[in-house]
């Protein structure tokens, strides 16, 4: 089957999966590609990895457009995603309404599952928050770092730790079986990221890529976006 190829942040994986059937019915094409840390996906595009469209942070899309790797007129916002806490379905939910709450929640976990703390949006933020809370050194040995949020959340679901917790973007938590979104990060520690899509300058299927962006951003898909964890 002919496919449209995507390079995307993991935050959009559940949404794209939810639109696969509608896209095939509309265009006759399937969807293929990679989902991972946004920095790595951007670097793959720069290195020449074939892709018809990218779904990354708004800031990264702007840079790629400046580098003539994305067609500026094709760029459209998909929605905002909050960074949140996750627990296994069988564990009690935790809430962190203040920075002090969050500090105690993280201190109480014997394993903290997070995405790449250098290349992923959520992972970078987790590292920043741990420093901000003054517990980065204290919990360093408990950090379980994976290439992207989706992998980190699957590993959380399978964890045999006594009190594990996860922190990544809400969309990746919602899309993972076996875990639940426990709560958002408190004021002062929150992160809300706008995700944006664009057709690449080297797209083999630019018209179909634009059609997929229209599906991702269309008003008639607002309920699906919200169900998958996007806001705005």
Question: How many whole angstroms separate alpha carbon 29 and alpha carbon 205?
Answer: 10
Q: Where are the alpha helices (DSSP H) in the chain?
A: 13-27, 38-46, 58-66, 99-108, 121-133, 136-139, 149-158, 170-174, 206-217, 222-227
Per-residue confidence (pLDDT) for residue 37, from 0 to 100: 87
Q: Sketch the domain layout of the chain as residue ranges.
A: 3-79+194-227, 81-184
Q: What is the pLDDT of residues 119-154, one digit of tens each?
A: 888 999 999 999 999 999 999 999 999 999 999 999
Report pTM: 0.87
Question: How many whole angstroms separate alpha carbon 204 and alpha carbon 59?
Answer: 24
Q: What is the pLDDT of residues 84-131, one digit of tens each?
A: 999 999 999 998 999 999 999 999 999 999 999 998 889 999 999 999
| CATH number, domain 81-184 | 3.40.190.10
Q: What is the pLDDT of residues 25-63, one digit of tens each?
A: 999 999 999 998 898 999 999 999 999 999 999 999 999
The residues with which 111 forms a beta bridge, in sequence order, are 164
Per-residue confidence (pLDDT) for residue 119, from 0 to 100: 85
**Are both 3-79+194-227 and 81-184 of the same fold?**
yes
The third-level CATH classification (topology) of the domain covering 3-79+194-227 is D-Maltodextrin-Binding Protein; domain 2 (3.40.190)
């Amino acid at each position: 089957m002919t496919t449209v190829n995507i390079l995307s942040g993991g935050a959009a994986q559940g949404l794209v999966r939810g639109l696969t059937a509608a896209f095939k019915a509309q265009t006759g094409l399937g969807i293929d590609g990679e989902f991972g840390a946004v920095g790595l996906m951007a670097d793959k595009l720069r290195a020449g990895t074939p892709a018809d469209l990218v779904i990354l942070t708004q800031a990264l899309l702007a840079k790629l457009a400046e580098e003539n790797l994305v067609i500026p007129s094709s760029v459209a916002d998909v929605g905002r995603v909050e960074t949140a806490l996750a627990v296994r379905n069988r564990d009690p939910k935790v809430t962190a309404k203040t920075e002090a709450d969050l500090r105690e929640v993280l201190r109480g976990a014997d394993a903290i599952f997070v995405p790449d703390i250098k290349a992923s949006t959520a992972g970078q933020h987790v590292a920043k928050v741990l420093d901000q809370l003054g517990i980065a050194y204290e919990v360093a040995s408990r950090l379980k770092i994976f290439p992207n949020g989706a992998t980190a959340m699957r590993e959380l679901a399978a964890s045999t730790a006594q009190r594990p917790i996860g922190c990544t973007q809400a969309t990746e938590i919602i899309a993972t079986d076996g875990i639940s979104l426990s709560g958002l990060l408190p004021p002062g520690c929150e992160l809300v990221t706008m995700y944006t899509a664009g057709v690449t300058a080297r797209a083999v299927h630019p018209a179909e890529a634009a059609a997929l962006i229209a599906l991702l951003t269309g008003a008639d898909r607002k309920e699906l976006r919200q169900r998958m964890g996007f806001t705005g």
